[in-house]
């Protein structure tokens, strides 16, 4: 069968987006991995699926699959692309779009300038929210990784994140520590790993190793996690500009009991059709 899709990106974090509201298909893990291959497939960091909602109060169901075929709870850059996609495809004319995800409900707001703001909900620091095998909710946790001890903040943004503070993000050991922490036994569902350089209380530089995909040019939930941890640790103040390799995001978290909001771009690259075996 031929399946219509759209290739999109949010700050270089790239996605294949499929409408399963007007089309019917069921993708197996091996098909996702084949489509994700940048030489033999379409190539992407994540596959985004648009489905009808199960909750009548929601507009759509939003599903996310990593390049290795694993389904995950949330993707902030993908959420912005999702919002633009459903409007471009005329699946909705709303500016405020409510979607259900495996990590909980999200509200997406398409701004007049084309930027998209995502209400990411309240960050959750309880270890069981990630999940993370730790006895208590601390500002910083210590992990033994690759023969050394590292200090991290841990938070769930609908998906699990740890954040390490580094002096120079360009020299950070992302390739070495990223996979080691992702698969650390204290994270039974694996974890995304952010490397944060604090420039000022309102500005950081960030690189993120995403579970199941490796380092990406940008990670929306990773940016939210870094800012949430930084504010909670007294290093940052809202709003914060996050410089990622693919571009910048604006993160606002005015109070611990408030929702965190992320604003950034979403770009369509091309439309296509692919034959599924």
Q: Catalytic annotation on 75?
A: yes
User: Which whole-number Å values give the CA distances from 152 to 103, 172, 224, in the listed order?
Assistant: 22, 14, 15
DSSP characters over 163-214: EEE-S-GGGS-HHHHHHHHHT-TT-TT--EEEEEEEEETTEEEEEEEETTTE
Binding residue per annotation — 100?
A: no
Binding residue per annotation — 128?
A: no
Binding residue per annotation — 46?
A: yes
Instruction: Quickly tell me which residue has 């490796």 as its tokens.
Output: 214
Binding residue per annotation — 148?
A: no
Binding residue per annotation — 13?
A: yes
Contact 208, 214 (CB under 8 A): no
Binding residue per annotation — 111?
A: no
Which residues are CB-neighbours of 110 under 8 A, at least 6 positions away? 83, 84, 87, 95, 96, 97, 116
Binding residue per annotation — 77?
A: yes
Binding residue per annotation — 74?
A: no
> Catalytic one among 75, 81, 224, 229?
75
How many angstroms separate the CA atoms of 220 and 177, rounded? 20
Binding residue per annotation — 10?
A: no
> Catalytic one among 81, 219, 224, 229?
219
Residue positions in the annotated binding site for substrate?
Answer: 13, 46, 66, 76-77, 159, 192, 210-211, 220-221
Residue positions in the annotated binding site?
Answer: 13, 46, 66, 76-77, 159, 192, 210-211, 220-221
Which positions are catalytic? 75, 219
């Amino acid at each position: 069968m031929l399946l219509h899709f759209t290739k999109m990106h949010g700050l270089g974090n790239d996605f294949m987006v499929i409408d399963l509201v007007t089309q019917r298909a069921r993708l197996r893990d091996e098909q996702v991995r084949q489509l994700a291959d940048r030489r033999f497939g379409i190539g992407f960091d994540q596959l985004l699926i648009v489905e009808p909602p199960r909750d009548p109060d929601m507009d759509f169901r939003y599903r996310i699959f990593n390049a290795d075929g694993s389904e995950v709870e949330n993707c902030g850059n993908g959420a912005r692309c999702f919002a633009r996609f459903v409007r471009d495809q005329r699946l909705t004319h709303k500016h405020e779009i409510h979607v259900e995800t495996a990590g909980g409900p999200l509200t997406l707001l398409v701004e007049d300038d084309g930027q998209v703001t995502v209400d990411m909900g309240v960050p959750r620091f309880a270890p069981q929210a990630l999940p993370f095998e730790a006895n208590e909710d601390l500002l910083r946790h210590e992990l033994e990784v690759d023969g050394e001890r590292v200090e991290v903040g841990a938070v769930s943004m609908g998906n699990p994140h740890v954040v390490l503070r580094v002096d120079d993000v360009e020299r950070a050991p992302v390739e070495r520590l990223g996979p080691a922490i992702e698969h650390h036994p204290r994270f039974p569902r694996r974890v995304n790993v952010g490397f944060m350089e604090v420039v000022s209380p309102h500005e950081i530089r960030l690189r993120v190793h995403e579970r199941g995909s490796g380092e990406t040019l940008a990670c929306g939930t990773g940016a939210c996690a870094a800012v949430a941890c930084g504010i909670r640790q007294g290093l940052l103040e809202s709003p914060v500009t996050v410089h990622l390799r693919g571009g910048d995001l604006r993160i606002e978290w005015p109070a611990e009991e408030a929702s965190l909001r992320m604003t950034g771009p979403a770009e369509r690259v091309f439309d296509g059709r692919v034959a599924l075996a």
